[in-house]
Amino acid sequence: KGQGENALGQVDIVVKYNDRKFHGVGLATDIVESSAKAMVNALNTIWRARQVEQELKRKSQTEIKETV
């Protein structure tokens, strides 16, 4: 994005984790930095998804206990 040494390079990756696909995006003037940012972005997305899954599981178990 742009021209010259200040041009931004964008990296888009798809990471497969537990049979799900997660998208990561990185943007920087250095392509290696863009790649690292994309990987970190994908890993953060996976982490958030795991947190949501754990919270839903916890709520589900709590509801089962309350109905018994």
What's the pTM? 0.79
Is 26 in contact with 11 (CB distance < 8 Å)?
yes
Q: What is the pLDDT of residue 10?
A: 97
Average pLDDT over residues 50-57: 94
Quote the CA–CA distance of 52 and 44 in Å, as a whole number. Answer: 12
Q: Which of 17, 8, 63 lies closest to 43, judged by CA? A: 17
Q: What are phi and psi of 16, to 5 degrees?
A: -95, 125
pLDDT in tens, 57-66: 998 887 777 6
**pLDDT exceeds cutoff 80 at 28:** yes
Strand ranges inside 1-68, DSSP E? 9-17, 20-28
